[in-house]
C-alpha cells in the first residue's frame, strides 16, 4: 500500500494494486482538532461509542441529539417489531437491471442495479453496494428502502444477491457462508472496474454485515472501499446461534431453515454424488439452520466442526483490522443479533469505528422516525448522513492532492442477463 499525505491537516491513506497502479480508495482521516459533540448533546436513549466517535459525530448530530422514539404499540416487543417490519413494511417499486457476475470458481452472483442509472448518473457518482442478510435479496423491503434513499441523493446503488438468494443462479455445488468473503471481493473489484472514477461504499445487514466486516478486516489497509455500514450484525455467531435455541427465537430458526431448504432443493442436482463428509439428507431436511450448516456449509468451507465454523466465521475477530470508516448500528433488544455479542472493546479501540445502539428496534426493524410505521427504518437517514459525510471528505481530499488520480478497468469474467 502506498501512503500519500497532503500535509499535517488531512493525512490520506491511498491503496493501490501494484500491477494496475490505480487508486482504489481514498481513506480520509479528519484532524484531531475536529469539533466534537459534548456528551450532554447526545440523547441518553442512544449508546454511542467507538474510536471514531469524535471524527464522525458532527455529521450525525441532527439525529443523535434527539431521543429514539419507537412507534407506539408495534415496538413494545422485539418480536412484534421484527415480524411487523418483515411482513408489513412497504416495498418501494423500483425497476432493476440484473447483471450476473461469474466468479473465478465458476459460481455466480446477481447484481441488481437501478435501471437507467447507467445513462442518467455521472460516471463519478458515489456507489453504494448493498448486501442483504441470510436468504435475503433485492426483493426485500429493507434494501429497497435504503436503495431509494441513496438514489434520491444522487448515489448509484447496486444490490449484491449472494449465490441462490434473490433468485440468483447457483452454478456450482457451493453456496455462500458467514466465513466466505471471496464473492464480496470479486463484486467490489468488478464494480470498481466499471466505474473507476467513483468512490465505493457498502452497507450490509445481519449475516451480510458479518461477511462485510470480515471482508474489511481481511483487506485492511488495501481495502478499496471508502467507507462501510454494518446493521444488525451478529458479530459472534456462537452467541447468535445460542439465542436461536431459546423461546420464540425458534420460530425464526425454523423460518430461515425453510428458506435455505427451498433454495437448496431448487439446485439439488448439483450435489448429486458429491464426495466428502457432506450429509445431503440432513441439509435437505434441515429443521434448524444448524442442520444445514452441519450437513453442507461447514464441510464446503473446510471446517472440522460446527463450533469451529461459528467461532472462526464470526466477524468480531476482524474489527481490530478495519482500516476504513465503519459505522455499526445495533438494537439493544435484537432477538437474533444479541447485544452481548457486540464487540464494544474492539470498536472503542479502533479509531475508524463508530457504534450506535438503539434501545429498541428488533431485528431489521427500527420502526421509528419520520416514515414509521410503514416507511423506511430509522436507520436509513443516519446511514446516508454518515456516507455523505465521508463522500464530501474524499472529494475535498482529492481536490487538494497534487496531480490527477487515475484508474484503469479490470478484466473479470461476467455475463449480463
* Active centre residues (catalytic): 206, 334, 363
The Cα 112–Cα 168 span in angstroms is: 10
How many other C-beta atoms lie within 10 A of the C-beta of residue 201?
28
The Cα 161–Cα 169 span in angstroms is: 10
Beta strand pairing status for 156-161 and 108-114? Answer: antiparallel
Q: Which helix (H) or strand (E) holds 263?
A: helix 249-266
- DSSP conformation class of 10: S
DSSP 216-257: HHHHGGG---SEEEEES--S-HHHHHHHTTSTTHHHHHHHHH
How deeply is 408 buried, as exposed, middle or buried, from its count of CB atoms within 10 A (0-12, 13-18, 19+)?
Answer: exposed
- DSSP conformation class of 13: E
Peptide bond into 373 cis (omega under 30): yes
The Cα 43–Cα 63 span in angstroms is: 9
DSSP 36-91: ---GGGS-TTSEEE-TTHHHHHHHHHHHHTS---BPTTGGGSHHHHHHHHHHHS--
User: Which own/partner contact pairs does 238-245 have at CB distance under 8 Å and 24+ positions apart?
Assistant: 238/307, 238/310, 238/311, 238/314, 239/338, 239/340, 239/341, 240/336, 240/337, 240/338, 240/341, 241/289, 241/290, 241/310, 243/335, 243/336, 243/338, 244/288, 244/289, 244/290, 244/336
Amino acid at each position: 500500500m502506498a501512503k500519500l499525505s497532503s500535509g499535517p491537516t488531512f493525512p490520506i491513506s491511498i491503496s493501490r494494486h501494484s500491477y494496475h497502479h490505480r487508486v482504489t480508495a481514498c481513506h480520509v482521516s479528519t484532524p484531531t482538532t475536529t469539533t466534537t459533540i459534548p456528551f450532554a448533546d447526545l440523547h441518553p436513549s442512544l449508546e454511542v461509542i467507538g474510536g471514531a466517535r469524535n471524527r464522525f459525530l458532527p455529521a450525525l448530530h441532527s439525529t443523535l441529539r434527539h431521543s429514539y422514539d419507537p412507534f407506539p404499540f408495534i415496538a413494545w416487543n422485539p418480536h412484534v417489531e421484527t415480524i411487523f417490519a418483515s411482513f408489513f413494511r412497504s416495498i418501494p417499486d423500483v425497476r432493476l437491471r440484473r447483471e450476473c457476475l461469474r466468479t473465478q470458481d465458476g459460481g455466480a452472483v446477481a447484481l441488481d442495479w437501478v435501471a437507467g442509472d447507467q445513462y442518467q448518473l455521472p460516471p463519478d457518482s458515489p456507489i453504494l453496494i448493498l448486501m442483504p442478510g441470510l436468504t435475503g435479496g433485492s426483493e426485500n423491503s429493507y434494501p429497497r428502502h435504503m436503495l431509494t434513499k441513496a438514489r434520491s441523493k444522487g448515489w448509484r446503488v447496486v444490490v449484491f444477491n449472494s449465490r441462490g438468494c434473490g433468485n440468483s443462479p447457483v452454478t456450482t455445488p457451493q453456496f455462500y457462508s458467514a466465513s466466505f468473503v471471496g464473492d464480496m471481493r470479486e463484486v467490489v473489484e468488478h464494480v470498481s472496474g466499471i466505474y473507476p472514477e467513483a468512490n465505493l461504499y457498502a452497507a450490509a445487514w445481519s449475516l451480510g454485515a458479518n461477511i462485510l466486516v470480515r471482508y474489511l478486516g481481511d483487506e485492511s489497509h488495501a481495502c478499496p472501499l471508502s467507507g462501510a455500514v454494518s446493521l444488525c450484525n451478529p458479530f459472534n455467531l456462537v452467541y447468535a446461534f445460542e439465542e436461536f435455541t431459546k423461546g420464540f427465537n425458534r420460530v425464526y430458526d425454523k423460518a430461515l431453515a425453510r428458506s435455505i431448504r427451498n433454495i437448496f432443493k431448487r439446485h439439488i442436482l448439483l450435489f448429486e454424488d458429491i464426495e466428502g463428509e457432506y450429509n445431503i439428507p440432513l441439509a435437505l431436511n434441515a429443521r434448524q439452520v444448524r442442520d444445514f450448516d452441519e450437513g453442507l456449509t461447514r464441510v464446503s468451507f473446510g471446517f472440522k466442526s460446527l463450533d469451529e465454523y461459528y467461532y472462526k466465521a464470526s466477524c468480531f475477530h476482524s474489527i481490530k483490522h478495519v482500516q476504513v470508516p465503519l459505522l455499526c448500528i445495533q438494537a439493544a433488544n435484537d432477538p437474533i443479533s444479541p447485544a452481548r455479542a457486540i464487540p464494544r472493546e474492539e470498536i472503542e479501540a479502533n479509531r475508524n469505528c463508530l457504534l450506535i445502539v438503539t434501545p429498541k428496534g428488533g431485528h431489521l426493524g427500527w420502526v421509528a422516525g419520520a416514515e414509521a410505521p410503514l416507511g423506511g427504518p430509522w436507520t436509513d437517514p443516519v446511514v446516508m448522513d454518515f456516507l455523505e459525510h465521508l463522500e464530501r471528505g474524499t472529494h475535498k481530499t482529492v481536490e487538494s492532492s497534487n496531480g490527477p488520480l487515475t484508474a484503469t478497468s479490470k478484466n473479470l469474467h461476467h455475463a449480463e442477463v
